[in-house]
Amino acid sequence: MLRHVAGKLGGAVAGVAAVVVLGFFLFRMIPGDPTVTMTRGRQVDEAQIAELRALHGYDRPIVEQFGKYVGGLLRGDMGTSLFYRRTVAELIGERVGPTLLLVGTSTLIAVTLGLWLGIRGAWRRDSLFDRTSTGVALLGWAMPAFWLGMLLSMVTGDLFPSGGMRFSSTPPGFWPQALDVAHHMVLPSLTLIAVVYAQYQLVMRSSLLEEMNADYLTTARAKGLRDDQVRRRHAVPNALLPTVTLVFLHIGLVVTGAITVETVYSWPGLGLLTYEALAGPDLPLLQGTFVVLAGSVIVMNVLADLLYQVLDPRVRAS
């Protein structure tokens, strides 16, 4: 067991290391160096390029640059944003909170909603409820998040604020501020939920359907348990296990949704920061958000893997 955990943690370290390496070489992939990307489509002369190169250390040997980049990351230094003229770490630090709030709330609601719909649908397979809810889920899944976001904000009009996280006119103090943020978060989180809940529902549904004809359910019924108890105590816990892994495996999709939803609603999180970094392009900033977003998704997945060990008695025993 301990060896298994150590193996998983080793895998996580290797995964994050791969993200770090990818983050470095990705932005140096094209012939020349990042200054080519940064100055694309602008009038610059040789001297300006040389200055830019020296400023960012691109004139140093690649090994030295890589060493400096990794050393910086270990100290929490991800360079300086070209556009904001502030350190990338500081900018990311400011934006993590809103993203965690938005993604966390939406995922929680989407998982609850998806699992509930999936269980109900599978238990009454091919009923009107099952067919309608599967259809609606597929429809939500087919929609680009940003499009749904724009539609929602057009349909609701002035009912909800269409951008940002709080009004500057809101009085200080915990409750007024919290209410203001919640008011701003309604549309972004609704959009995110609508786009991601389908996967949870469909996975839960098919994984419960797999269990439906299992012998232990017949036994449970033969014992005289009510239908509801058979479902809650026997079928659902078993079907939940594969679902849990998939929920975490799909966390990357939620991050993807967050990038466009934050862009549409100007929600001041990491997604909007990524979008802002595209405009320059602000390569140090983009590199920072890439490493942080990809790295945290990988860490989340390893955590899920470990959680799975705790949850599944079959794996725990072996």
Partner 1 sequence: MTSIVWQRRRAAVSSTWREFTRNRGGLVGLVVLGVVVVLALLAPLVTDATGLDVTKAAGDRWQPPSGEYWFGTDHTGRSVLLLTWWGSRISLLIGLTATVLSVAIGTLVGVTAAHFGGWASAGLMWVTNFFLVLPSLVLAIALSTVLPRGIGTIVLAIGVTSWASSARLVRAQTLSVEARPFIERAKVLGGGHAHVIGRHVLPAVLPLVFVNTTLTVANAIVAEATLSFLGLGDPSMVSWGSMLRAANLHGAVSQRAWWFLLPPGLGVVVIVLAFTLVGRALETVLNPRLRGDR
d(CA 119, CA 130): 10
Q: Report how many residues bind partner 1 under the rule CB under 8 A.
A: 53
**Which residues lie below 8 Å from residue 143, measured CB to CB, with a gap of 6+?**
194, 195
Assess contact for 148 and 195: CB atoms under 8 A: yes
| Minimum separation from the CB atom of position 83 to partner 1 (A) | 14
Name the segment binding partner 1 (CB under 8 A); options: 56-64, 69-77, 114-122, 145-153: 145-153
- Decide whether 159 or 178 has the Cβ nearer to partner 1: 159
Indicate which single residue of 109, 143, 217, 241 sits in contact with partner 1 (rule: CB under 8 A).
143
Q: How far apart are CA 145 and CA 261, in angstroms?
A: 6
* Alpha helices per DSSP H over the chain: 2-26, 34-38, 46-56, 62-74, 88-123, 128-142, 145-156, 174-211, 215-222, 227-229, 236-249, 251-265, 270-279, 283-311, 313-317
The answer to whether the beta carbons of residues 109 and 191 sit under 8 Å apart is no
Site string for partner 1, 152-181 (x = CB under 8 A): -xx-------x-------------------
Kindly report the number of other CB atoms within 10 A of residue 70's CB atom.
14
Among 1, 21, 44, 139, the residue binding partner 1 under the rule CB under 8 A is: 139
The residue (of 87 and 301) whose beta carbon lies closer to partner 1 is 301
Q: Per CB under 8 A, does 242 bind partner 1? A: no
C-alpha span between 284 and 295 (Å, rounded): 16
**The only residue of 3, 40, 85, 314 in contact with partner 1, by rule CB under 8 A:** 40
Min separation Cβ 183 and partner 1, Å: 18
CA distances from residue 71 to 19, 54, 162 in whole angstroms, order as listed: 15, 19, 41
Judged by beta carbon, residue 186 or residue 253, the one nearer partner 1 is 253
Check: CB of residue 83 under 8 Å from CB of residue 285.
yes
Task: Decide if 186 contacts 160 (C-beta within 8 A).
Answer: yes
Site string for partner 1, 180-219 (x = CB under 8 A): ---------------------------------x------
User: Which stretches of the chain bind partner 1, using CB under 8 A?
Assistant: 14-15, 18-19, 22-23, 26-27, 29-30, 34, 37, 40, 126, 138-139, 141-144, 146-148, 150-151, 153-154, 162, 213, 249, 252-253, 255-256, 259-260, 263-264, 274-275, 278-279, 281, 283, 286-287, 289-290, 293-294, 297-298, 301
